[in-house]
Every structure is written in C-alpha cells, then in structure tokens.
Amino acid sequence: MISRYTPPNMGKIWTQEARFRWMLEVELLACDSLASQGRIPKSASARIRRRAQLNLARIDEREKKTKHDVVAFLGELASHIGSDAQYLHLGLTSSDVLDTATAVQLKQSATLLLSDLAGLKAVVKKLALKYRDTLCMGRTHGVHAEPTTLGLKLAFFYAELLRAEELLAHARKKVAVGKISGAVGTYAHLDPSVEKYICSKLGITPAPISTQVVPRDGYAGFLSALAIVGGMLERMAIEIRHLQKTETGELEEPFEEGQTGSSAMPHKRNPVSCERVTGLSRLLRGYAGTALENIALWHERDISHSSVERVILPDATIALDFMILEMTRILKGLRVDPKRMRQNLEMSKGLFCSESVLLALMKTGLVRPDAYKIVQRNAMAAWAKKSDFQAMLSADPEVKKRLSPVVLKACFDLKKHLRHVPFVYRRLGLK
C-alpha cells in the first residue's frame, strides 16, 4: 500500500523486516522443539538463537541469484550462524515458514483492526446519544419518506459496528492458522508435536489438515470479512456525502483551516474524506474477489497464490485500517445543522404523515385501496400546489366525513411517529 493510506501501526506489521523476523522466529522455535526431542544438540539451538541475524539488503542480493526468498533468507542466516546452520529448516518446507509467519501477521492485523474499530464505535455511540432526539427527514430512494432522528441514523451505524466486530473476531480466529507439516502436509520428516509447539508459542492454531500450504479458504474468508466491514464504512460515508449536498446541507465532514476544496473554485467544501473511504471500499471488494480465486490450487499446491497474497494481504488490512481511522476522524469533527434538518423536514408540508392518515382512514372501515386513493389524491395535489397537506385533508369531504379534527391532528404528531425510539436504543444497549 502506498504511504498515503498507510497508518504507521498497521504499516509496521507488514514491513519486510517484520516478515523476516517472524520467519526467523518460526525457524528458531523449530530448533528449540527439535532440541527438546534430542534431534539436534541443545547447545546448537542456543547458539543459533544467539548468532542469528537479519540483513535485508543481503537477503535481497541473494534472492536475485536464487530466485527464492526463503532460500536467500536461509543462506543469509547460515552466513552468521556457521556450522550449526545444518540444523536449520530440518524437515520443513518453505510454506511451513511462510504460512505460519503470515498467520501471525494476519492475527496482529486483525487485532489492530478490532482495536481501532472499538475507537470508532465509541465515537458513534457518543454521537448517537447526543443526537437521539434531533429530528430529521428519513429518505427512501432519495425522496422524503417519514421522519426519523439523526440519533437513529447513528444508532444504525453503531449496530453495524457491533456486527463488524463480531465478523472480524471470527475471521481472525479462522485465519490465525499455521502449519509445520512438510512438503505435502504428511509430517513425513517432522513429528506433529513440533507444529503444536511452534503454533502454541506464536499464539496461533495448527491447521487440522494441510497440503504444502494452509487452506486458502481461510484467507478468502478473512478478505471477504474486510470487504464487508469496508462496505459498512462506505455506507456511513455515503450517508454523510448525500447529506452534505448543497441542496440538503444537514451534515458536513470536517473542513480544516487552510484546507483547499478546489484548485479552481475557492468556495468549494467537498466531502473528499468520505469519498476516499468510498473509493478504498471498492478496492477491498476487488481484493476479496482475488482471494476467492486463490482457493483452488493445483494438487498439493502451486505458487499462483503467492504473488497475489504479497499484495492483497498487507494492502487490504492497511486500507481498512486507514478507512476506520479516517471515519473516526470524520465523525469526531462532524458538523451538524439541526436547524437545516428541521427546514428540510418542513419542506414537504406534512406529506410525510400520509401513512398515518391512511391507517386512520382504514380504522373507520375503508379498505386499503380506497383509503390509499383518498390520501394519494390529496398528497399529489398538495405537492403540486405547494400547499399544507393537513389543511388540504381537512377540506376534503371524504376525509371530514370519517376523521374528526382531533384524530386528523393526531396523525401529524411527530412524537407519536418516534415514540419507540427509546426501545431501539435499549435493544442496542445504547445508554
């Protein structure tokens, strides 16, 4: 991932140095396990751990010749370790080291994502409580529907983040899987106890069965989870973008002093941060699709997945972490205009109460189609004439015959519309 979208903490997990450090730790733990079983001298295991060094530049130079990064890595280690290097990589294949090290990086990434997601959730919760009773218009198809509150919109975000946490926690468990089972996964040259020891020390789980690689459906599930969470963040971003339109003007993402909205138009305050989140979400969906392609490998393995994963695993985790942190910043600085919300609410002159009137007419014995025609006729006329909907209904003979002024007035009571908002909050645990 380019530096523009790389949060430092997530970026550290995916550096070349971090990758080789975890590969080295797998090799060292293998030596420790073999030494405890008497397969190699304990003194040799201790010397290997003491002498092992990594020189990334020299590993790169070696790889130019070997065309194999693990062989280059082992060759560089051997140059520091000396004769004890004969005990390195005993019974292991490259993917034992690579997949097990990657499992640690994926677990670390998921843990950081969950931590940053918790920070975003706390911000959303605070806003949901603050704006619980702030009236605004609910829209379907972009058209005024019925009243809601800004708090309920934010409560929906909060519920999404609860599901995101659950999804990521499950994906972390499924992807934190290593294997030390040899060339085709048969443990031909290593006892399974070595695998158990290494995975235990690294805080991951041994794959119940593997070929030369761990099953790639776990990776596909993980990337799919990242894409779903990205879609949730995108939904938040799109809501803000729509409500920031000049014609709407209810919300606005932070616009800091000195910030430029347009190189040509000095007046512009564009929702560029939300648009950035939207764009990166598209990237995550592409990576998820690519991960699905990696499930089907030839026989016990081929290498078609390798080049793909060198890109999509760091990129996807880094991109999602950036999106989480960006959305946290946006919501912390979110500008809210309750007055504009009320103006927009009143723009349709009460048309949003049409369902209440419909149901009230049905209570008098009218069948739905007949009641619907009466309400729709008045609604269309009110919209065309920009007239008050309640006043137009009051003048309609069929409505007057069936609904008293008190009942009709009650249909336009916004508190009645939103009386169950506290129930939704309680169900979500928003207190």
Q: Please answer whether residues 105 and 194 qualify as being in contact, where contact means their C-beta atoms are separated by less than 8 angstroms.
A: no
The DSSP letter of residue 82 is: G
Q: Helix, strand or coil for residue 350?
A: coil
In this prediction, residue 220 carries a pLDDT of 97
In this prediction, residue 300 carries a pLDDT of 93
Q: Chain centroid to CA 149: how far? A: 25
| Nearest one of 358, 327, 356, 369 to 415, comparing CA atoms | 356
| 251 strand-pairing partners | 336
Helix %, strand %, coil % for the chain, to 5?
Answer: 70, 5, 25
| 191 strand-pairing partners | none
Q: Please answer whether residues 203 and 101 qualify as being in contact, where contact means their C-beta atoms are separated by less than 8 angstroms.
A: no
**Terminal Cα distance for the chain, rounded:** 39
Domain with CATH 1.10.40.30 in the chain: 351-411
| Nearest one of 67, 76, 1 to 323, comparing CA atoms | 1
| Nearest one of 27, 52, 14, 19 to 198, comparing CA atoms | 27
Q: Please answer whether residues 242 and 292 qualify as being in contact, where contact means their C-beta atoms are separated by less than 8 angstroms.
A: no
Please state, in angstroms and rounded to a whole number, the distance separating the CA atoms of residues 241 and 270: 9
The CATH superfamily of 351-411 is Fumarase/aspartase (C-terminal domain) (1.10.40.30)
Q: Which residues of the chain have pLDDT under 50?
A: none
Query: In the structure encoding, which two tokens stand for residue 185, read together?
Result: 């996964």
Q: What's the chain's length in residues?
A: 431
CATH classification number, 1-90, choose in 3.10.580.10, 2.40.128.20, 3.40.50.150, 1.10.275.10: 1.10.275.10
Domain with CATH 1.10.275.10 in the chain: 1-90
Q: Please answer whether residues 116 and 328 qualify as being in contact, where contact means their C-beta atoms are separated by less than 8 angstroms.
A: yes
The DSSP letter of residue 205 is: E
The catalytic residues are 141, 262
365: left (phi over 0), alpha (psi -120 to 50) or beta: left
Query: In the structure encoding, which two tokens stand for residue 399, read together?
Result: 């409505």
Per CATH, the number for 94-342 is: 1.20.200.10
In this prediction, residue 260 carries a pLDDT of 77
Query: In the structure encoding, which two tokens stand for residue 187, read together?
Result: 């443990």
Query: In the structure encoding, which two tokens stand for residue 138, read together?
Result: 């609910």
User: Measuring CA to CA, how many Å separate 292 from each of 295, 297, 305?
Assistant: 6, 11, 10
Q: Please answer whether residues 246 and 253 qualify as being in contact, where contact means their C-beta atoms are separated by less than 8 angstroms.
A: no
Q: Please answer whether residues 200 and 103 qualify as being in contact, where contact means their C-beta atoms are separated by less than 8 angstroms.
A: no
Exposed, middle or buried: residue 47 (CB in 10 Å: 0-12, 13-18, 19+)?
Answer: middle
Domain with CATH 1.20.200.10 in the chain: 94-342
Please state, in angstroms and rounded to a whole number, the distance separating the CA atoms of residues 250 and 272: 17
In the numeric block, the tokens 């990576």 are attached to 287
In this prediction, residue 431 carries a pLDDT of 85
In this prediction, residue 262 carries a pLDDT of 66
Q: Catalogue the E-assigned strands of 316-405.
A: 335-336
